[in-house]
Amino acid sequence: MKNDKAFYCNACGARYHKWLGKCEDCSQWNTIVEDISPSYTSKSTKIDFQTLSASNKEIERRLSDISEFDRVLGGGIVPGSVVLVGGDPGIGKSTLLLQVSAALSQDYSCVYISGEESAEQICIRAARLEMQDSSVKLACETDVDAIINSVGSNMDFLIIDSIQTLQCSSADSIPGTVAQVRTCAFKLINFAKSTNTAVFLIGHVTKEGAIAGPKILEHMVDTVLYFEGERGNSYRILRSVKNRYGPCDELGIFEMRNKGLVGVSNPSALFLTQRAENVPGSVVFSGIEGTRPILVEVQALVTRSYFSVPRRTVVGWDINRLLTVLAVIESKCKISFSSMDVCLNIAGGLRISEPACDLAVAVSLLSAASKKSIDRATCVFGEIGLTGEIRSVPRSSERIKEAEKLGFKTIILPESTNIQSSGIKLETVKSLTNAVELLEIDYS
Ligand code: TYD
Ligand code: MG
């Protein structure tokens, strides 16, 4: 008998006639699933076309009044949109969305469905957050069809905690598997679009930090947010990595307190509060995260190494960029780190990915290596090229303004930046050696 079953790999798309534990093409485990093709009948009806200008009305946005949350979504929640929120276990996803649902329920109708916790657990959390009087409708359910049928078309917001616990009888596997997650998400997205209900899906993340389940989940939804934070640190960062209705890479900063998450409206002040007095290795970087400038402290420690291969440790920055900056310093400043361990830390738990942080990192490393502290009222930004030149970076005026607002007196920046001085002294530098001369760092 002919076997007409087909299987494909979720990671690379390779096709097989039988199920395998490991894909022969991309060597990934557990990625091969059966391809169940829906029976397809061609419709004879014709589709209508329209012009691009047909719908140029303003997007309606609903505010939750948790301003950090609204900001990350681009200024409010768009009805009918589907938002996926991912994050490590225990980081506070359920807490955040319970707070959001309570805030939204003051003006809108809102349903919170949990497949992970019992109603009692959620009520205890609500009591802790002092929101037991809100009109959020709560249910513990995992059957996606039951959820869609019960919510109906008159609800403004639907929150699902989490997409990995949902199941659908038409997909033939246990909850959390690729087929289940995809089918349930597909049904909920269709539901959101047809009823104009905004849907929030909480998603688990894998060991590597990506949202568990098929990558296609992130393609299907309108917005993907990650809720991040360092263990042992009370600050939490909500970051948008995809947003069809607003800018991506936007940040919302929260602090986890005893009574839930509280938005941080002035993050620069917060990240600088615990700065020590004039210590070598510490310098302030004027960065841009999303749409706003944020000042953070870059800390470096350079010590003698007891290992045959000296160690480089980084928290909050990219290790490869650190290695590049170290190589440029070695070649331009004639200082050797080959017998030194180097640690770099972005204080406060923020993760920086901007190249504009290069100069601040270089200055903190040089300051640590030479044991010369940098003036407390000085801050730095600029990208370093491989030949040691300092390159200009975008949105300099906002960086300067923020530094001025926080009381900094001097800012070291790339020479090509075309900005007039205001209340802060602008020290432009052309190359790394220029910066070393300016700061009077003596590492010999
Ligand atoms: P939770 O929302 O359950 O995390 P997730 O859904 O992402 O797994 O958050 C759990 C953590 O948050 C837990 O370690 C306790 C802490 N927490 C507070 O510090 N304050 C609070 O008011 C609440 C509700 C939780
Ligand atoms: Mg949870």
* Residue 3 pLDDT > 60: no
* Mutation pick for ligand 1 pocket among 256, 258, 262 (CB with most ligand atoms within 8 Å): 256
Q: Which ligand is nearest to the CA of 205?
A: 1
Rg (CA), the chain: 26
Domain spans of the chain, in order of start: 1-36, 62-264, 270-439
> What SS3 class is residue 157?
strand
Q: Pick the ligand that lies closest to the CA of residue 160.
A: 2
pTM of this structure: 0.80
Phi-psi region of 388 (alpha: psi -120 to 50; beta: other; left: phi over 0): left
Return the best residue to mutate from 95, 123, 165 for the ligand 1 pocket (most ligand atoms within 8 A of CB): 95
Q: Is the pLDDT of residue 336 over 60?
A: yes
- The lowest-confidence range among 70-84, 97-111, 167-181, 187-201 is 167-181
Please tell us whether the domain made up of 270-439 is placed in CATH 3.30.1360.20: no
Q: Is the pLDDT of residue 270 over 90?
A: no
Query: How confident is the model at residue 1, as a pLDDT?
Result: 43
Given a cut of 50, whether residue 111 has pLDDT beyond it is yes
Instruction: Spell out the residues 6+ positions from residue 55 whose beta carbon is closer than 8 angstroms to its own.
Output: none
Q: What is the mean pLDDT of residues 140-149?
A: 94
The whole-number pLDDT of residue 5 equals 79
Q: What's the pLDDT at 40?
A: 63
The reported pLDDT for the residue numbered 11 is: 77
pLDDT at 56 over 70: no
Overall average pLDDT of the 202-210 stretch: 84
The larger pLDDT score, comparing residue 203 to residue 292, is at 203
Q: How close is the Cα of 60 to the center of ligand 2, in Å?
A: 29
The lowest-confidence range among 49-58, 278-287, 392-401 is 49-58
Is the pLDDT reported for residue 332 higher than 80? yes
pLDDT at residue 65 greater than cutoff 50: yes
**pLDDT above 80: residue 98:** yes
Residue 234: pLDDT band (50, 70, 90) is: confident
Cβ 24 vs Cβ 14: under 8 Å: yes
- Cα–Cα distances in Å, from 362 out to 269, 276, 324, 356, 432? 23, 19, 10, 11, 8
Which atom belonging to ligand 1 lies closest to the Cα atom of 95? Answer: 2
Q: Would you put residue 37 in left (φ > 0), alpha (ψ -120 to 50) or beta?
A: beta
Q: What pLDDT does 39 receive?
A: 64
Q: Would you state the pLDDT for residue 104?
A: 95
**CATH of the domain spanning 62-264:** 3.40.50.300
Name every protein residue with a CB atom under 6 angstroms from any ligand 1 atom: 87, 89-95, 125, 128-129, 256, 258-260
Q: pLDDT at residue 429 above 80?
A: yes
Atom 15 in ligand 1: residue holding the nearest Cα: 90
Looking from the CA of residue 88, the nearest atom of ligand 1 is 7
What was the pLDDT predicted at 378? Answer: 93
Ligand 1: atom nearest CA of 89 is 8
Q: Which residues pair with 301 in a beta bridge?
A: 343
pLDDT surpasses 50 at 365: yes
Categorize the per-residue pLDDT at 150 as very low, low, confident or very high, splitting at 50, 70 and 90. Answer: very high
Q: What is the mean pLDDT of the chain?
A: 89
**Residue owning the nearest CA to atom 9 of ligand 1:** 92
Name the residue among 293, 266, 291, 285 with its Cα closest to residue 402.
293
Average pLDDT on 229-243 reads 86
Residue with the nearest Cα to atom 10 of ligand 1?
Answer: 90
pLDDT category at 9 given cuts 50, 70, 90 is confident
Q: Tokens 């602008």, residue?
A: 426
Residue 2 has pLDDT above 70, yes or no: no
| Section 375-395 average pLDDT | 94
Question: Which atom of ligand 1 is nearest to 96's Cα?
Answer: 2
Which has more pLDDT, 1 or 332? 332
Q: What is the rounded distance in angstroms from the CA atom of residue 405 to the CA atom of residue 150?
A: 52
Average pLDDT over residues 3-7: 76
